[in-house]
A and B are shown apart, each in its own frame.
Chain A
Amino acid sequence: MTSAPARAARHGRAVPFFVVPFGVLFTLFYLLPIGYAIVQSLYKVERTGTFGPAREVFGGLVQYERVFADGAFWTSIGRVLAFGVVQVPVMLGLALLLALLLDSGLVRGRRFFRLAFFVPYAVPGVIAAIMWGFLYSPNLSPLKPVTSAIDFLSADLVLWAIANVVTWVYVGYNMLIIYSALLAIPAEVYEAARLDGAGQWRIAWSIKIPLVMPAIVLTTVFSIIGTLQLLAEPQVFRSFSSAVSSTYTPNLTVYSTSSIPNFNLAAAFSVVLALTTFVLSFVFLRFTNRKGVQ
């Protein structure tokens, strides 16, 4: 009989085989680019004279100063935050409502509805945006009376037109996550409540929702990350509406800055954006954890 540590050490010889392939790719295509972006963001391009050769020199935080002075960038951050504050609760509220209804036993044909709501998730953002772009266009839309009265592609509404596309794609996916969490709740949990005379709504509110909170938190964090990353949908909408500028969302700013090209500034933009995403996700997690403890 070998002792447990010795055994672990002997089996441990297999660890590199399991870990190295992923580890190498993760280092090459995650850690290295992040490090490279940070380094790039600290450089600037200098020219001797107006037409002299360009060379990269260390610029310290000069790119970050430009990022913080860039009004359009912060406007775009504000825009996606406004988008998220409205779209995420609407989407997750709808997902929660549909999941609760599916789980309530009030609905016939559950299988059909589950599938029907999930179908849009198979449509990638670009294609969903192209489709809805056509649907919003007054001369193609099946909702002609509505689209000829309201211009969804106008400067005032286009952000919410995009919000609708994102909602349409992701409600079913979020619903499925919440619904799976609901299915995992053992039936005995409901029995006491039912004996006390609690109805469907009461059980949903006081038992089901608190128990699926972890799933809701998970979907919220993913939605926050997704909101700050908005790119494909607004990029597509640029060909339907002149109201979507090349700096409409933070990621569009990064993309258009890099195609000018000003890679150093674009790198600084993406570092700031990644940090913003991190901070917001963490703040949200901390906030909800604390609430959970109380």
Chain B
Amino acid sequence: MSVTTSAPAGGAAGKIQESLFSRTGAMLVMAVSTLYFLTPIWWLFVGAGKRSDEFTSTNPLWFADFELFANIGDLLEYRDGVFLRWLLNSILYTGGAALIGTVLAAMCGYALAKYRFRGRELLFNVVLSGVLVPATALALPLFLLFSKVDATNTFWAVFLPSLVNPFGVYLARIYATAGVPDELLDAARIDGSGEVRTFFKVATRLMFPALVTIFLFHFVAVWNNFLLPLIMLSDERLFPVTLGLYTWNTQVNQIPELRGLVIVGALLSITPLVIAFLALQRFWRNGLGAGAVK
């Protein structure tokens, strides 16, 4: 009797031990990964608060004299406040392009999902293969085309190409097919709502989480696009902040004071984004899930 009862008990103890072992292992992996992902950010934060003579003489991971605000002041004054200009440009390039681009992609994807028209599949396939075209392969011919019309080194040379988001059309089609029922559109029609009004009043509301995802994807793509502004722009007043910091970084050897400014600038430029990302993460996750399993 005692033998038969002790067997499952021993098993359970084994299970608990195994689970304790797994739990500890899992937490260990998580802790090491957290250190890996966050240490560079922490280093940047600490470094941004140091005087330039303290970079090499003090602990890289701990504060010296906390001069962050003085450093930010220096950064904003440097070369007539060009850094602020860069931030503003970045907001216009990325925010503006992502916002308009999302609306355009959503409209096209919605039409592909909800209307039957001639050339629909052709259009979809062409747009879909556009997803696979590397953005960098487009930058050079775009430069040549813009130079034909004498429009390189302008705001529009970077902004207009950034509006196009084929992947957004693809996602919008998936979401509109799954998330906007035909019956609802028919009901709106019976109520006398026009097609365009129905899209903006009814469909976009149902597609909202998806639209946030498309916006974020688009935002990151433009924010990360380095080659297009690098090729197009020569006037530093038009630079996005990434290109600006890049050019400063290439001059660190000649002008050592720039190193400190690059570090403070990097911190300033990523902070709003990190906050926005963390705030919008819920939408990300839901949208990505829908995209991944289709």
* Interface set of A (CB-CB < 8 Å, partner B): 8, 11-15, 17-19, 21-23, 25-26, 28-34, 36-37, 40, 94, 97-98, 101, 104, 106-109, 113-128, 130-135, 139-142, 144, 168, 171-172, 176-181, 183-184, 199-200, 212, 214-215, 218, 225, 228-229, 231-232, 235-236, 239, 251, 254-255, 258, 263, 266-267, 270-271, 273-274, 277-278, 281
Contacts and interface: CB of A to CB of B under 8 A. Distances in A.
Contact of A119 (B37, B59, B105, B144): B37
Contacts of B231: 255, 258
Contacts of A28: 160
Given A225-B132, A270-B140, A278-B132, A142 B61 contact: yes
**What 7 A-B pairs come out closest when comparing CB atoms?**
A14-B195, A180-B289, A18-B111, A33-B141, A142-B60, A22-B108, A106-B26
A125 B39 CA distance: 17
A104 to B, nearest CB: 7
A98 B33 contact: yes
B136 A229 contact: yes
Contact of B166 (A30, A271, A273): A30
Nearest to B46: A142
B142 A26 contact: no
B8 interface: no
Interface of B: 18-19, 22-23, 26-27, 29-30, 33-34, 36-41, 43-44, 47, 55-56, 59-61, 104-105, 107-108, 110-112, 115-117, 123, 126-127, 130, 132-138, 140-145, 160-161, 163-164, 166, 169, 189, 194-196, 199, 220, 223-224, 226-227, 230-231, 242-243, 245-246, 249-250, 252-253, 259, 262-263, 266, 269-270, 273-274, 276-278, 281, 284-286, 288-289, 291-294
B56 A139 contact: yes
Contact of A118 (B18, B277, B291): B277
B190 to A, nearest CB: 11
B277 A122 contact: yes
Question: B-side binding surface: helix, strand, loop or mixed?
Answer: helix
A101 B29 contact: yes
Contacts of B23: 106-107
A120 B41 contact: yes
Contact of A232 (B112, B161, B226): B226
